[in-house]
Amino acid sequence: MRRKIIIDTDPGQDDAIAILLALAAKDKLELLGITAVAGNVPLELTTKNALKILEVAKETNIAVFSGCKAPLKRKLVTAEHVHGPTGLNGPQLAEPKIKQQDQHGVDFIIDTLRQHPEKTITLCPLGPLTNIASAIIKAPDIVEKIDEIVLMGGAYFEVGNVTPAAEFNFYVDPEAANIVMCSGIKITMMPLDVTHQVLTTKERSQKFANLGNETGKIIYHWVKYFKKFDEEKYKSDGAPLHDPCVIAYLLKPDLFSGRKINVRIETNSELTRGMSVADYWGITDEKDCPRNVNFMRHVDDEGFYQLLFDYLKKLP
Ligand code: RIB
Ligand code: CA
C-alpha cells in the first residue's frame, strides 16, 4: 500500500529536489497533489515553479494548486538572495505548458482530507506553514484526519539562518508555525540541526551530473546556483539539502534519529520572531509543555545521498 502524501511547497531548488525524489519513489509514495505557498519567492512564482518541476520529471498528471500569497498576519519575506529571482535559478527551464488547478490550495487540502479515510494522508510542508495553518483554521475537523505532518523547518542547536534566532520557514509565518505545533497532530520535524549535515559537496554535486539522465544535469545546475549563499556564509563545501530530508524520512526513516520533545514558536518578540524553542533536555513540565514534536537531530548523510542517487536516476 503506497503512502498518500500532499506536498506543500515554496520552490526553491531544494523543494524541487524533494518533489523529484517523491516522484521517483512512486512505488512507495502516492502524491495526491502539490500546493504552492508564498515563501522563497512570491506565490505566482512558487506555483509556476511547481509546474516546471513536474515537467522536468514528465509527470504532468499531478495536480498543482496555488495557496496563500502572504503569511497569516505578517508581510511576506522572500529569499531571492538564496534561490535567485525566479526561485529556481540555475538551469534555463521553459515556461510550463501544464496549468495549475482552479481550486485554492487550502481548499484542496481540506477536501482531500475529508474525502479519504482518516489517518491515511501525510502532509509534507517544505515552506512556511501558512497553507497548513489556514486549512486548520478553516476546517478544524481535519486535525483528526491527518495521519502525520513531516515538515522541514525550525532549528535549535544550529540556531537561525534568516536571523540569529530563526529558520526561514518558521520566521516567515511564526503564527502559522505555532498553530501547527499546538494542533495535537503527530509531527516529525526536520530542523536545520539535521539539514545542515547533508551538504551538497563537490563530489556529491558531480554525482548528480553523472546520474545519466537530464534530471541529474538540471539538479547539478540548481545545486551550483543554490549553494552559493551557504558556502559564502558558512565557508562550507556545498549547501544543506533541506527539503529532501522530509521525503527521505518517508522512504527510509532509520536514516534519521532524534527524540520526542516540546517545541514552541516565538510569535511576540521581534528579536526572536519565529524561533523554535526546543526543550531537547526535557526540563519543562510535560503537563504544561506536551512532547508535541518528533525532533530529528542526526542523519546518516552518506545513506541520505545514496538514497537520492538511487531514486533520482530513475527519472527521465
Ligand atoms: O530554511 C530552509 C527552508 O527555507 C527550506 O525549505 C528552503 O526551501 C526555504 O523554504
Ligand atoms: Ca522550501
Q: What is the pLDDT of residues 291-302, one digit of tens each?
A: 999 999 999 999
Other beta carbons within 10 angstroms of residue 211's beta carbon come to 18
| Calpha distance 49→283 (Å, rounded) | 43
Q: Which of 40, 81, 82, 173 to mutate to test the pocket of ligand 1 (most atoms within 8 A of CB)?
A: 40
Please report how many Cα atoms fall inside a 13 Å half-sphere around the Cα of residue 36, on the Cβ side.
31
Give all domains of the chain, ordered by start, each with its CATH number. 3-312 (3.90.245.10)
Tell me 264's DSSP state: E
Contact 56, 23 (CB under 8 A): no
Q: Is 78 in the pocket of ligand 1 (CB under 6 A)?
A: no
188 three-state secondary structure = strand
Cα 288 to averaged position of ligand 1 atoms, centre (Å): 30
Q: Is 126 in the pocket of ligand 1 (CB under 6 A)?
A: yes
Q: Which residues surround ligand 2, an ion (CB under 5 A)?
A: 10, 12, 15, 126-127, 243
**pLDDT (tens digit per residue) in 159-216:** 999 999 999 999 999 999 999 999 999 999 999 999 999 999 999 999 999 999 999 9
129 three-state secondary structure = coil
**pLDDT (tens digit per residue) in 114-160:** 999 999 999 999 999 999 999 999 999 999 999 999 999 999 999 99
Rounded to the nearest 10 degrees, the angle between the axes of helix 130-138 and helix 174-181 is 60
Q: Which protein residue has the closest C-alpha to ligand 1 atom 10?
A: 127
pLDDT exceeding 90 applies to what percent of the chain? 100
Q: Which protein residue has the closest C-alpha to ligand 1 atom 1?
A: 168
Q: From the candidates 83, 104, 196, 242, give the one annotated as an active-site residue.
A: 242
Active site residue 221: no
Q: How confident is the model at residue 265 (pLDDT cuts 50, 70, 90)?
A: very high
Tell me 253's DSSP state: G
Question: Which residue, chain included where needed, has cell 533536555?
Answer: 281
Contact 203, 164 (CB under 8 A): no
Q: How confident is the model at residue 246 (pLDDT cuts 50, 70, 90)?
A: very high
C-alpha cell at 199: 551538504
| Calpha distance 256→49 (Å, rounded) | 29
| Calpha distance 165→154 (Å, rounded) | 10
Contact 245, 253 (CB under 8 A): no
Q: Is 152 in the pocket of ligand 1 (CB under 6 A)?
A: yes
Q: Which atom of ligand 1 is nearest to the CA of 10?
A: 10
pTM of the model: 0.98
| Calpha distance 55→59 (Å, rounded) | 6
Q: Which atom of ligand 1 is nearest to the CA of 83?
A: 8
C-alpha cell at 30: 502516492
Q: Is 193 in the pocket of ligand 1 (CB under 6 A)?
A: no
Taken as a whole, the chain contains a residue count of: 316
Question: Which residue, chain included where needed, has cell 553523472?
Answer: 210
